[in-house]
Amino acid sequence: MGIIRLKNRVSVAAVSSVCGRSEYDGRFSDRYDEHSDDDTFEQKTFERAEEEMMRRCFGHALRKGRFAPSDIDAVFAGDLMNQCTASSYAFSDSGIQYFGLFGACSTMAEAVMLAALTVGGGYFRRAAATACSHFCTAERQFRTPVEYGGQRTPTAQWTVTGAGCAVIDTGNSGMYIKEVLPGITVDRKVTDAANMGAAMAPAAADTLTRYFKESGKSPGDFDVILSGDLGYEGRTITTELLFQKGIELGDNYLDCGELLYKKEQDVHSGGSGCGCSALGLAVYLFERFRKKEIKNALFIGTGALMSPMATAQGHSIPGIAHLVHFSSEV
């Protein structure tokens, strides 16, 4: 158990992203491949909109990488909608071998990890990793329907309407997967579904501590350390938990949940959802590698393994965090 170093070259061949209006109005407008002004993607329900968003996102990844669907041997996909609805339908009748995942908001990292391990192992020539979330489907499912107009607490996060996709193969892209470290489920007894940052932070701290301890590296060895969707609350707790273990995260530590929106957009503690880290990977991390601005980055997908039923029954929310080390060199 521990850090897995990939022996063969495993590369991020292409990324794509599709998002909703709020995300388009955020900090990275020009970097999304497509957006929907009313978050519906011309569908009758938000559930269908989420599915359509993921389907289009995959289409953009194929287009940008100049791949045919038959060039993709497998897709690893997941979302938040009971039960992985968007993913199941988005790839229905696509003719592509399909692995459904549930890692809550950590799904993108889980998918990239499994795509990297299977491509690196020579099982697939090329695999896609994709994840998505939609504000309206997630609010209805996990909290209250949007129409209810409930007041949001300061620790609440804003579920990102977005889908991200990364195509993984053994090519020569300038962004390689060097190492992965799968997460361990950690439950610190947070029961507030409006404070997922606190539920996920102990898991993020656990994975990062294990990584630095085993690798002998320190946060300063990386240009960027990017967590998935801890938001302001979770990032602060994670920084504190690591500080207690003697690990100091500096200015290079960022969180996708804080990165995607402008301050005046009032998303409270930051973005969240499977789409959050999926977009962060596509529009921020990949872009910086592409522009040769960074050489080494840690990507930590964080997930609050929430269940509406468990929340209704008063149970706490376990967290998980999967780590992927990207590098500009093989």
Residues lying near a second copy in the complex (CB under 8 A) are found at 1, 4, 45, 47-48, 70, 73-74, 78, 80-85, 88-89, 91-104, 110, 114, 117-118, 120-124, 137, 141, 182-187, 305-310, 313, 315, 318, 320
Min dist. Cβ of residue 133 to a second copy (A):
12
Minimum CB distance to a second copy smaller for 12 or for 72: 72
**Pairing relation of β-strands 162-169 and 34-35?**
unpaired
Minimum CB distance to a second copy smaller for 121 or for 150: 121
Which is it for the CA torsion 145, 37, 104, 70, positive or negative? positive
Min dist. Cβ of residue 71 to a second copy (A):
9
Residue 197 phi/psi, 5-degree rounding, is -55, -45
- Nearest-10 Cα torsion for 29, 35, 36, 38: -30
Min dist. Cβ of residue 263 to a second copy (A):
31
Q: Is 274 helix (H, G, I), strand (E, B) or coil?
A: helix
Minimum CB distance to a second copy smaller for 137 or for 157: 137
Minimum CB distance to a second copy smaller for 292 or for 309: 309
Minimum CB distance to a second copy smaller for 45 or for 191: 45
Min dist. Cβ of residue 82 to a second copy (A):
4
Min dist. Cβ of residue 94 to a second copy (A):
7
**Pairing relation of β-strands 162-169 and 126-133?**
antiparallel
Q: What's the token pair of residue 274? A: 């499977």
Minimum CB distance to a second copy smaller for 73 or for 223: 73
> Angle, to 10 degrees, between the axis of helix 196-215 and the axis of helix 231-244?
40
User: What is the Cα–Cα distance from 278 to 272, expressed in whole angstroms?
Assistant: 10
Minimum CB distance to a second copy smaller for 189 or for 262: 189
> Angle, to 10 degrees, between the axis of helix 46-65 and the axis of helix 135-142?
140
Min dist. Cβ of residue 221 to a second copy (A):
23
Min dist. Cβ of residue 2 to a second copy (A):
8
How far out from the chain centre does Cα 142 lie? 18
- Nearest-10 Cα torsion for 228, 234, 237, 239: 30
Number of C-beta neighbours around residue 191 at 10 A: 12
